[in-house]
């Protein structure tokens, strides 16, 4: 049955690339159909094999992206690994209207911007058990060339540093064993409001 969590605020999930964010929230969607939805971001990066426009991202040119910035169309946006990523105002509005709990998968500069906005949200950080494990997952996924792996590992140091800032995240989950990490995520999201 589709039971929504008591706390229906948007959930901001961040953490280094390759840590398992996508894997975790895919499982959340499967376990709780029709409850959650992913905020589909805009990006200037190319689709990976199997990714679909409008589902995984809205894939746009740099020109279109910059045009949207100029029109104040983003709630937040950032550069990552040489590409631009952003959450459009329209996307958040559309998803909220559907009555679902919106999940955002964004990097740290976006997290900072959402924190400064009027959006009231829950913040979850997914950490790797080690940088070695992170690198091996990123390479094991087989989606990145060497330059992209290096950029993502460099960025991972910054994300991990930022996650240590007190009060930034409501919950930090170490994704070592996937089942354990998923349970921790689900328990946190479904935590009663008065606990």
Binding site for ligand 5GP (CB under 6 A): 17, 41, 45, 76, 78, 80, 85-87, 105-107, 109-110
Using DSSP, state whether 85 is helix, strand or coil. Answer: strand
Smaller CB separation from ligand ADP, 68 or 84? 84
Q: Among residues 18 and 86, whose Cβ is nearest to ligand ADP?
A: 18
Nearer to ligand 5GP, 4 or 81 (CB): 81
Kindly give the residue spans of alpha helices, DSSP state H, lying in the chain: 21-31, 62-70, 89-97, 108-116, 131-141, 146-163, 178-189
Give per-residue burial for 128-163: e unless 16+ CB within 10 Å, then b.
Answer: beeeebbbebbeeeeebeeebbebbbebbeebbebb
CB of 24 to ligand ADP, least distance (A): 7
Per DSSP, 97 falls in state: H
Q: Which does 109 bind (CB under 5 to 8 A by kind): ligand 5GP, ligand ADP, none?
A: ligand 5GP
Q: How far apart are CA 178 and CA 28, in angstroms?
A: 12
Compare residues 76 and 184 and give the one whose CB is closer to ligand 5GP: 76
By the 10 Å C-beta count (0-12 exposed, 13-18 middle, 19+ buried), 99 is classed as exposed
Q: Which stretch binds ligand ADP (CB under 6 A): 4-12, 88-96, 164-172, 175-183?
A: 175-183
Smallest separation, CB 5 to ligand 5GP (Å) = 21
Question: Taking CB within 5 to 8 Å according to partner kind, which of ligand ADP, ligand 5GP, none is near residue 44?
Answer: none
Total number of residues that touch ligand ADP (CB under 6 A): 14
How far, rounded to the nearest angstrom, does the alpha carbon of residue 56 sit from its chain's CA centroid? Answer: 11
Range 11-50, binding ligand ADP (CB under 6 A) = 15, 17-23
Catalog residues that contact ligand ADP under the rule CB under 6 A: 15, 17-23, 137, 140-141, 175, 178, 181
């Amino acid at each position: 049955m589709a039971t929504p969590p008591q706390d229906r605020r948007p959930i901001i999930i961040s953490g280094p690339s390759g840590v398992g964010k996508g894997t975790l929230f895919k499982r959340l969607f499967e376990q709780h159909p029709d409850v959650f939805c992913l905020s589909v971001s805009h990006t200037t990066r190319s689709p990976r094999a199997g990714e679909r426009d409008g589902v995984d991202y809205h894939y746009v040119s740099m020109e279109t992206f910059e045009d949207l910035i100029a029109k104040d169309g983003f709630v937040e946006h950032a550069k990552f690994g040489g590409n631009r990523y952003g959450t459009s105002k329209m996307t958040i509005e559309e998803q909220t209207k559907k009555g679902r709990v919106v999940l955002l998968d964004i990097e740290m500069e976006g997290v900072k911007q959402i924190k400064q906005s009027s959006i009231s949200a829950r913040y979850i950080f997914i950490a790797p058990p080690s940088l070695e494990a992170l690198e091996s997952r990123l390479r094991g996924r087989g989606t990145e060339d060497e330059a992209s792996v290096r950029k993502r590992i460099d960025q991972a140091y910054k994300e991990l540093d930022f996650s240590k800032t007190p009060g930034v995240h409501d919950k930090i989950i170490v994704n070592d064993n996937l089942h354990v990490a998923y349970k921790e995520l689900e328990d946190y999201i479904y935590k009663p409001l008065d606990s």
